[in-house]
Structure 1
Amino acid sequence: MSEEHRAGVEVADGRIVTAAAASTLRRRTARIIANALDTAGGTEWNADVAVEVRLTDAPLTVRRPDVVVYRADAINTSPIRAQHVLCVIELVSRVSQATGRIVGVHRYVRAGISHYWRIEWSATGVPIACTYVLDPASQAYHEEAICSGVVHVTEPFPVTIDLTRV
């Protein structure tokens, strides 16, 4: 399948799943996060929006998180392999709550992705970021930070992202 045709789909356990088109708010928020993480990651790490990540070969699972931080030397790899990924960020809407909070998280844990961020919007419209780090011993994500409006973290790199400017 061409890259253009793959843009709106993911593969979950070998089955093609159509992804809903992202809203303007979601796309802008993803771009702001990616730009900040791209700068913070220096020359070793890239951060981009809507990058295909191959989590497993059998059954085939390919996800397209809103933002992906991956090794800079893997830029020509398509799809990016999970072992090249440092962090995935999912922007959760009402439509994607189950995926962003449950399904995707378990797949990222199994793939060994070290950091997972979930961005949601409160009832008043304030963005809330929940950041998690993978504990290899328990094979589970542990909460690192919950930030309202402004994300300020030290992992995977020190960065401050003002999500209120969206």
Structure 2
Amino acid sequence: MVLPPEGITAEDYEALPEDICRRIEIVDGAIVVNAAPRRAHQIIARRLANLIEDACGPTFAVATDVDLRMREFPLLNRRPDIVVYDASVTDDAVLRPEDCLLVVEVMSPGSVTADQTDKPAEYAAVGIGHFWRIENSDDGDRRLTVFRYRLDPTTGSYASAGVNVAEMTVSDPFDLAVVFADLY
């Protein structure tokens, strides 16, 4: 694929086949190819999304691995592992930051820089109120750590809302209790 000098536009992206869109993100008009996540990554994201969906009730919807259009030009289109958004958004509408309450990224070996640095800065810059990053331990013992962030309206950046290991009980942005071992 030959990219135009101005990069991929929203129209170009929307014309791509769905099976291609599922594996790419667009950052400043450039295509970023994402490796297929490992099975454990997918299981953790799906199980946590199910728990979040039960916790946040009918006001919010929860989806996994869907497009989030953060900017039109240059195009910035991410695919968070989990996104919690206003349930009144129709299925055919492009998901926008103003619709979102929380985005969650499950970190993989190939997404460390994006998940620790790039995506939190981008999500904060567009005003998404909450961001969680889930990290696996490197020693193979299936120990998860959740880093929770809340948008500071004064600075427009994320401030730590807590770090949880083994389990998590939160009341913001909704009431949720999770034992991390249950996510495997």
- With the shorter chain as reference, the TM-score category is over 0.9
Q: In structure 1, the residue corresponding to 2:20 is in which secondary structure?
A: helix
CA distance in 2 between counterparts of 1:65 and 1:51 reads: 7
**Could you give the per-residue CA deviations for residues 38-83 of structure 1, whole angstroms, max 9, x where no partner exists?**
1111111011110110011111100001110011111414431111
Runs (4+) of structure 1 exceeding 6 A deviation are none
* Pair 1:79-2:106 in alignment: no
Give the 5 Å matches for 1:18-29. 18-29=33-44
Q: 1:96 aligns with which of 96, 111, 114?
A: 111
* Pair 1:128-2:145 in alignment: yes
Q: How many residue pairs are counted as aligned between the two chains?
A: 166
Q: In structure 1, the residue corresponding to 2:154 is in which secondary structure?
A: coil
Q: TM-score, normalised by structure 1?
A: 0.95
Q: 2:53 aligns with which of 8, 33, 38?
A: 38
Q: TM-score, normalised by structure 2?
A: 0.86
Give the 5 Å matches for 1:100-119. 100-119=115-134
Displacement, 1:159?
A: 0.2
Q: In structure 2, the residue corresponding to 1:73 is in which secondary structure?
A: coil
* Pair 1:147-2:164 in alignment: yes
- Amino acid aligned to 2:147: C
2:32 aligned residue: 17
**Which one has a bigger Cα radius of gyration?**
2
1:61 aligned residue: 76
Identity of aligned residues (%): 30
1:162 aligned residue: 179
Of Structure 1 and Structure 2, the greater strand share is in 1
CA distance in 1 between counterparts of 2:52 and 2:109 reads: 25
Please, what is the CA RMSD of the aligned residues? 1.2
Unaligned runs of 5+ in 2: 1-15
